[in-house]
Amino acid sequence: MANKKGPIQILVKDRPPVKTAVYDRNNLQRRKKLLEETTRVAKETKRAFELYGKRVKMTISYRRSEGKHDAANIVGGIADAMQGPYYQDDNQIAEIHYIEQPVKKVKKKDEYEVILEDANQQ
């Protein structure tokens, strides 16, 4: 059974942030871009903090043309960067789906969509 309001969807036209121990200015900028887009959607939809204290299902669809990082680091980077507007801590994520589609570099740049849902409302 789906949430009455439906899933929360965030689309970012850039490469996703990644989980890394090395300082990387570009990665910090990608992390900031995701947080800004997440915050914008939360304000527009008035759904901020909706998943606080709940188990979260996260689906990531990545259309890749340039990015070089592996799926595990991408998922970790996105989960860490999204803490705050919708869930308190990424340890609330109980289910993760990651889908990656290659795109021709001449046609599109990297973009990804993150969908968040209450894992108990399915």
The residue count of the chain comes to 122
The CATH architecture that domain 8-118 belongs to is 2-Layer Sandwich (3.30)
The distance between the two most distant Cα atoms of the chain, rounded to a whole number of Å, is: 43
Residue 122 has pLDDT above 70, yes or no: no
Strands (E), 1-122: 8-12, 56-64, 93-102, 111-118
CB-CB contact of 72 with 29 (8 Å):
no
CA–CA gap between residue 76 and residue 90 (Å, rounded): 9
Tokens standing for 91? 């340890």
Domain boundary assignment for the chain: 8-118
* pLDDT tens profile 12-71: 999 999 998 788 999 999 999 999 999 999 999 999 899 999 999 999 999 998 778 899
Measured in Å, how far apart are the chain's first and last C-alpha atoms?
Answer: 4
Residue 90 has pLDDT above 90, yes or no: yes
Element (H, E) at 45: helix 25-45
**Which pLDDT score is estimated for 109?**
84
